[in-house]
Structure 1
């Protein structure tokens, strides 16, 4: 299937790993970029007339002492992620761990003038970008008890295979995760997702299988 709007997924990495972009049209991979700057990825998304961009990175920093509602809501489902700090705490950190979150921030800053960040509620009337999370996507398809980080490469490729996406060109787990984010964008456009979170802390979007598992 090659009809329908194009969608994109971005796996965010640190300085060494970089970011990975996959663009799907239907189930066909029409673009796959590795270690490109956000501006180059945006150029490709505009070229292919992408409608929605799923991104594996926090779309908002934590505000105050309380954690983001999106992360808390997933944790109540026993789906755990890295806790997003405030931007100030991330800036003050000396360990370098939060570099990928700053890379994600740059991606959202680059994309948001053209792809506004998802706000839950109402119809989707134009282009948008949104936060998603490959482990939560895997839980949506396999169930929480089956999804495993130890075999994530196998399980996540199996999801793409089930959905009809030819994944042989995806050389790494980063490419695979970008494709899963793009797949979730298709589900979002079809209205088959759950959105966890709130406006101040942002939303995490997951295909709507999660609660039935």
Structure 2
């Protein structure tokens, strides 16, 4: 059972996806309503992201950043499972190591931590699948894993802009121009949130204690299951 807040059953599928960057890049967010583009936001401020989510009454929020730190200095179980499936991803450090690392190398992860902490009082972190109908939550996801799941195969990360935009086009999500890779990734996170909110099959990597990474159920291949 997921840790979620029930909403009225007639609530539309209003969801958001957020790409998290460091202090300079900030947050790129995209909102979808019933699977179609609704709005977008770019800000460096966590409070502005949270206010925007509340303003447009999002139901489910997918976030491209670790929701929890490593507890032992190794990659979290979710990250190890993704890498075992052929999907390279960052290995989250312990929080202590992130703070001690010179040059703000893990600044984007610390920004992600701040965002999850600000959202969780009203959007509890998803702890299990499937999500209860008409529930509100936030969750961790990963654009490269989303792209592989939607394509049904391992796709090139080097051609991510072309491949990921093509997958959004196939899903009927047309972003306003210009739309850089951060906005595209936010839209992929939002598409995953739409899958989750609308009851479409999703897959979860990892375990609740160190965080789940949730992606759409692979469409054709069994490689990521």
- Return the TM-score normalized by structure 2: 0.88
Deviation digits for residues 94-117 of structure 1 (CA, Å, limit 9, x no counterpart): 132100000001110111111001
Counterpart contact for 1:78–1:144, Cα < 8 Å: no
SS in 1 for 2:125: coil
Deviation digits for residues 23-47 of structure 1 (CA, Å, limit 9, x no counterpart): 1102332221112412111112112
Q: CA deviation at 1:15?
A: 1.1
Aligned partner of 1:188 in structure 2 is 196
Q: CA deviation at 1:50?
A: 0.8
Where in structure 1 are there 5+ consecutive unaligned residues?
Answer: none
CA RMSD of aligned residues (A): 1.7
Aligned partner of 1:90 in structure 2 is 98
Matched, 1:148 2:148: no
Counterpart contact for 2:196–2:202, Cα < 8 Å: yes
Counterpart-to-counterpart distance in 1, 2:63 and 2:140: 5
Matched, 1:130 2:132: no
Matched, 1:178 2:186: yes
State how many pairs are aligned. Answer: 210
Matched, 1:165 2:173: yes
Where in structure 2 are there 5+ consecutive unaligned residues?
Answer: 1-10
Which of 56, 77, 80 pairs up with 1:72? 80
Which of 30, 33, 37 pairs up with 1:29? 37
Matched, 1:209 2:218: yes
SS in 2 for 1:150: coil
Deviation digits for residues 136-187 of structure 1 (CA, Å, limit 9, x no counterpart): 0111122444x11221111111111000111233521000100000000011
Matched, 1:42 2:50: yes
Runs of 4+ residues over 3 Å off in structure 1: none
Which stretch has the larger CA shift, 60-69 or 12-21?
Answer: 60-69
Counterpart contact for 1:170–1:176, Cα < 8 Å: no
Aligned partner of 2:60 in structure 1 is 52
SS in 1 for 2:39: strand
Which stretch has the larger CA shift, 52-61 or 161-170?
Answer: 161-170
- Return the TM-score normalized by structure 1: 0.92
Counterpart contact for 1:5–1:49, Cα < 8 Å: no
Aligned partner of 2:7 in structure 1 is none
